[in-house]
Structure 1
Amino acid sequence: MELDDIDWSLLAALQQDAAQPNQALAERVHVSPPTALRRVRRLREAELITAQVALLDEDRIAAAQGHGLTAIAEVSLDRQGAQHLDAFERRAVADDAVRQCYRVAPGPDFVLIVRMADMPGYQLLAERLFTQDANVRNVRVFFATRRAKFDTRIPLRDS
């Protein structure tokens, strides 16, 4: 699918605020409302837009619930064959506490961003993912004390 300047502008505008009315979106990218609607529909059909969600502020939710713990875990495996990497990845992404999972190189095999209610919740996660897997060689965990930036936008070409 070929994208033109209007498509890129629509994608950029939707990353900023996907809840804006079509009229406001059309004005923002300088097209008519029917054009904006048709273009956005086409971008969805091409699966360039996969979902529209509400992003919750984890820190405010944690404060309202009275708890919340974020950790970044570096995981190294003993055996790095494709089947071993795939097996650990499947287990990690299936766990609700794992918010993001990256295969990385060089260094550890995986970096996980995990979120749980509290330290006992982290202990349960560690048992599920790290200690019960005989192939996990080393885990380094960093507990977040403050999040200075969080952005879900994908950098796009100038739009």
Structure 2
Amino acid sequence: MAQITFKENPVTLLGNEVKVGEKAPEFKVLANDLSEVTLADSKGKVRLISVVPSIDTGVCDQQTRRFNEEAASLSNVEILTISVDLPFAQKRWCAAAGIENVQTLSDHRELSFGQAFGVAIKELRLLARAVFVIDSNDEVTYAEYVSEATNHPDYEAAINAAKEAK
């Protein structure tokens, strides 16, 4: 299991760590309009999944903006940002930030994504910072569990993995 800290304090992650080469686990999250979204909804596409603790914090804001900017160079990739923020807060944040190339999704209801991908922080009921790339056949081709939740992920590695995925 990935060893994660939050503000330098160790935390417990629920679920199983997802590894490159494995089939991506199914999950159920909410779109900004409260409709359910699953992995199967984007079947046949490459997905870059950016996981953030809370969209309203500095690093999470920067991470989401960075992947939004990179979307132009990732024409065959669907970019999803998942957090436990309420869908209404995500929608309001996206409108204020001008985010149009990333779909924000909420895992607040069931922690379905967090537990399926091993990023649900037990002590905080937040998601640990992570990035996953899933190819069109639902295989995980890239997985980064950021060891300190307040640090940035390796943007270049994730973007390159998304460009290489088929």
Give the TM-score category using the shorter length. under 0.3
TM-score of the aligned structures, taking structure 2 as reference length: 0.26
Which one has a larger percent strand, Structure 1 or Structure 2? Answer: 2
Which one has a larger percent helix, Structure 1 or Structure 2? Answer: 1
Structure with the bigger RCO (C-alpha within 8 Å, sep 6+) is 2
TM-score of the aligned structures, taking structure 1 as reference length: 0.27
- In our comparison, the structure showing a higher alpha carbon Rg is 1
